[in-house]
Structures are given as C-alpha cells and as structure tokens.
Structure 1
Amino acid sequence: MSKKERTFSRFLDVRSTVFFEITIGITANTVLLLFHILTFLLKQRPKPLDLTITQLSLIHLVMLVTMGFIATDTFESQRWENVLTCKLVIYMQRLMRALSICTTCLLSVLQAITLSPRNSCLAKFKQKLSHHYPCCLGFLWVFNMLLNGRFLVSIGATPNVTSQSLVFVTESCSQWPINYLFRYIFFSLGNVQDISFIGLMTLSSGYMVSLLWRHKRQFQHLHSISLSPKASPEEKATRTILLLMGFFMLMYILDCVTFSSRSILWNNDPIHLCVHMFVGNAYATICPFVLLSTEK
C-alpha cells in the first residue's frame, strides 16, 4: 500500500470515529435531557442544579447536531444551497460552545454553594439561588447571543474565486474579515469570558476539594477508619462534578493546542482537522455519561 493510500485510509478511519462520536453524544444527551424533563414533570419545583444539568444537556445536544452538519459539509462535500444555512449553523455552533463553558462553570459554582457549611461566606447565596438563578441564566444567554452575533454578519457562502482574506470554516461557508476595532473588541470579550469562567471553575473546584478533605478528616477523627462508610449523595455529586471539571479543563487545553497546531503547523491537513473535531466534541459526548452514572 502506497503512502497516499495509507493516508487516505487513516483519514477515513478518523472521519468515521468523528461521526461515531457525534452520534453517541447526541444519543446520550437526548437521554439525559428527557430524563430531567420527566423529573420536572414529577417535581413541583426543580432545583437550580437540575436546571443547570438540563440546560447543559440541551446545549451539548444542539452543539453536536450542528457539528454533525459541519462535519458532513466538510468531509462529504455536500454544499449548502443558501447563505442563511451557513449563518445559522455556524452561529448556533459557536453560541452553544460558549454557553457550554458558562454552564459548566455554573454547575461547579452551584455545587460549591450547596456544599458550603452554614458559617461560610457562600451560605448567604443559598436562599437567593432560587429567586435570582433564572435571571442569571437569561443574562448569560442574551450576552452570548450578542457576543456571537458577529458570525451572523461575517459568515457567508464560499465564493468560486480564491481570496487571501477569507477564512474557510467548511466547504460551503467562509468567514469574511470584519473591521479591526470590532474584531479586537469581540476577541477580547470572548477571551475575558473564557478566562473568567475557567478561573471560577478552578476556584470552586479547589474549594470543594478542601471541603471534602476537611469532612473526611473530621469523620476519621470521630469514627474508626475501618468502618469505611458510604459517601453521602452530596459527596457523590461533588465528586462527579469535580471529575467533569477536570475532564473539561483537559479537553479545553487539548482543543486550544490542536487548534493552534492545525493553523500554524499542520496547514489544515484533513486528518488533523478530524482530530481537532474529535477533541472539540469529547466533553459534550462524555459529559452525559458521567452525569447519568450518578442519577437514580
């Protein structure tokens, strides 16, 4: 087998893996979303943590569906017929990606507040959560919709003629350059948002780890270590969210590395494009399995 044939075979394998990952992620997020919708129908008043998990599953579901359209257009060369499809698909994918970071951070912060003892500074937020939480969710949605609105303007159909100023997003869609000032403003706001939410994730995760460690030491002081009691539901939920935070941080770093390497070193090689898509969808695919493992 020649080098070109081996490369093509490897590309087909990686491409199939990307589509398989998207299919599994869509199925798992649909199950998680339906599970919580059923829970809301049986409960009179859902908790903020339940609302966050429901929103996260919906966000990941839409993100993977739009990524399926993008992957099909990129690898199957099925060109979209109109510009509106380009704008909506790319806009929704970028919007859901931004909201995934925000909602994951909210999940970590909410669990830290829930786990905090009564004498802590976070205890005062427990009673205010049910009243102000819907407003917080609405603000995040509106802010990210406005922040990512630039894609509705800058995304268009790929022309037949080549241009150095275009950034190819898929086979059918390209991003046109926008004004330098607006590009700088949107870039700065996006980076500040990502850094802020990742910083909050790190702080809340560190706070939860310290609370669990302190609780374990106190329990070992009061009881024999050999008893090894079962963890409480709060501890199980906290460990699940900490596992999600660690996995998210790992995938976020890998996503940044693969994106930078693809644009600088790999010259948009199709195999490395598949790898970048696989890494970018990994968190949205694994997240529902981790959350479903702790649901009753």
Structure 2
Amino acid sequence: MSSLSIVLNFQAGFGVLANMFLLVFYTFIILCHRPKPMDMISCHQTFIHIVLLITKTDIWLWDIFESLNIENDFKCKTNFYITKVLRGLSICTTCLLSVFQAVTISPSFFLLAKFKYKLKKKTNVISAFLFIWSFNLLFNCYYIFFAGAFTNVSETNQMKVTKFCSLFPMNYIIRALILTTAISRDAFLVGLMLATSAYMVIILFRHKRQHKHLHSLSHLRASPEKRATQTILLLVISFVVTYWVDFIISSTTVLLWMYDPVTLSVQKFVMNVYPTITPLVQISSDNRITNMLKHVQSMCHQIF
C-alpha cells in the first residue's frame, strides 16, 4: 500500500469515527429528547458524510463488493453513482443548514423572519430531505450509462479513473451539457450559501453593535445563537474552499479527458477534508456535547 493510500485510509477512518460519535449523539437527541430542526439536519449531514467517506475509500467498498461476488461493471457504476449522489447531498444539506440558521437568527423586522414558524415544523424539514434525495438521485443518473469496468484504454479511449473503473467516451456536446448543468446547480447552491453567510455576518455585526448599549444578561442569552451562527459560517467557508479545489481538478480532468493516480488521490483527500472536519467543528461548538464529555470525564476520575 502506498503512502498516499495510507493517508487516505487514516483520514477516512478518523472521519468515520468522529461522524459516528456525532450520529449516535444526534440519534439519541432525536429519539429521547425534544430535537431542534437543526439537530435533524446535522444528523442527516453526519449520516451522509459517513457513507461518503466509506465509498471514497475504494479498498473498503471493493472488499464489500468482492464478498458479494458482484461483477466489476456493476461495481463501477454503483461506486460512481453513489459517490456523486452523496456529494450532491452534502452540498444540498450544507446549503439547507446555512439557510436554516440565517432564518433562525433573523430579527422579527427582517424579511426572512416570517419563515421561522414554518422551519420549526419537523414535517417541513423531512419534506426538504425527501426533495434533495429525489433531486440528487435523478440528477446523477447519467453516471449509470457513462461509467463502467475498465477494459482497454488504447482501443476504446476510456478515461481510467481507478484501477478497475473508467468513464466511457462521450460526445463533446453531451459532455459540455453535463458539465454546464452540474456547474449551474453547484453555482446556485454555493451562491445561496455565500449569500446567507453574508446575511448572517451582517446580523452578527448589528447584534454586536446593539449589545454595546444593552445589559450583559441579554448578551448571554444571545451567545448560543451567535456560537451556532459562527459554526455554520466556518462550515460553509470550509465547504466552499474544498469544493472549488475539487471542482477545478474535476473540470480539468473531464475537459482534458485525462486522469492519473496522484491527481485522483489528491482529489479524494480534498473531498474528504470537509466531511472529516465537520464533526470536529460541531462537537467543539455544541455545549451539550462538551458538557456531556466533561461529565463523563469527571465520572471516570471518581471511579479510578
């Protein structure tokens, strides 16, 4: 196993463990307490990131397929399709998280404040999940037709993207159409994230100026929302940075129809950065988790 594979496996393993911890926590909150809609969105995002990290590590996924005696062509189509669907779900959920927080902290006299009541309903959050799942499952169907098992690159002009898988040749018009559609979707979602992030920054700035003239207790009451907003802003910035690096690599390889193992490994590493750091940011910023960990730590000290 190469050093790059070791780094990717370590990164994926660490990310899966961190997300598993967060998934267990949010599942417990949803089943045993009164969950906030934000908890449901974060739980959904955490589940997506666990599956995304596992599928991006070919060794794990390929071992599962090997044990099931599935043909290489089906393995490749499934791998491409699942990875692209999960990538789309990740960007949609991050965008949903950003929009939700922007509405949540919006003052009553702002335009977005009228949506607060609607977002508090669990049915609306579940409906949003169903929509983004349906959209991404349909949107990425073309990978079923243009991905498959690698045969002979010199004869068929396939673009080899893993040891066993490749993309089949596409008409330039189809390739341009797919790329344009994907760019349009991602540009809209990233643009919406940046717009809501700018909106939240403005709200925080106004909030900070107002609290210079108010009592300190009001400042304390507002601090949880401020912390949550700062967390979402950090997640959005992290996503946008990793997304554009991944987008540049993907667009270059598709347009030039050329992939090499090092580029693929770098792209996987970049794609895994966001799902790996997301649970760490959420764990460190959620008082419920930090208080629980402190309580467990104090209990361990008492026992031992």
TM-score (norm 2): 0.82
The partner residue of 1:48 within 37, 40, 52 is 37
State the match for 2:142 in structure 1. 150
- 1:1-296 counterparts in 2 under 5 A? 12-44=2-34, 46-69=35-58, 81-129=71-119, 130=121, 131-160=123-152, 162-163=154-155, 165-178=157-170, 182-222=174-214, 232-259=223-250, 268-295=259-286, 296=288
Q: What is the CA deviation profile of residues 115-167 of structure 1, one whole-angstrom value per residue up to 9, with x for unaligned ones? A: 00111111111112224332222111111111101111221111146335312
Q: Which moved more, 1:215-224 or 1:200-209?
A: 215-224
> Which runs of 5 or more structure 2 residues have no equivalent in the other structure?
63-68, 289-304
| 1:186, distance to aligned residue in structure 2 (A) | 3.1
Does the CA contact (< 8 Å) of 2:246 and 2:267 recur in 1?
yes
State the SS of the aligned residue for 1:118: coil
Does the 8 Å contact 1:59/1:100 carry over to 2? yes
Q: CA, structure 1 residues 95+114, in 2 after alignment: closer, same or farther (shift >3 Å)?
A: same
Stretch of structure 1 that moved more, 101-110 or 270-279? 270-279
Identity across aligned pairs (percent)?
41
**Whole-Å separation in 1 of the counterparts to 2:155 and 2:272:** 30
Query: How many residues are aligned here?
Result: 277
User: For residues 164 and 281 of structure 2, what CA distance do their matches in structure 1 show?
Assistant: 35
Counterparts of 1:71 and 1:37, CA distance in 2: 25
**Once superposed, what is the RMSD of the aligned Cα atoms?**
2.8
Task: Measure, in 2, the Cα distance between the counterparts of 1:235 and 1:125.
Answer: 19
State how far apart, in whole Å, the 2-side matches of 1:83 and 1:270 are: 20
Contact 1:262–1:273 under 8 Å retained in 2: no
Q: Is the 8 A contact 1:29 1:57 kept in 2?
A: yes
Deviation at 1:184, TM superposition (A): 4.1
Q: Which amino acid aligns with 1:235?
A: K
Checking the alignment, whether the CA contact within 8 Å between 1:80 and 1:172 is kept in structure 2 is: no
The one-letter amino acid paired with 1:249 is V
Amino acid paired to 2:272: N
| 72 and 128 in structure 1: CA distance in 2 versus 1, 3 angstrom threshold | closer
Change (3 A) 1:184 1:197: same
Residue matched to 2:66 = none
Over 3 Å counting, the alpha-carbon distance change for 1:160 and 1:182 in structure 2 is closer
Say whether the 8 Å CA contact 1:82–1:157 is kept in structure 2: yes
The 2-side partners of 1:38 and 1:22 are apart by: 24
Worse overlay, 128-137 or 195-204: 128-137
The 1:259–1:190 alpha-carbon spacing in structure 2 relative to 1, beyond 3 Å, is closer
Q: Which runs of 5+ in 1 are unaligned?
A: 1-10, 74-78
Which protein has the bigger helix share?
Answer: 2
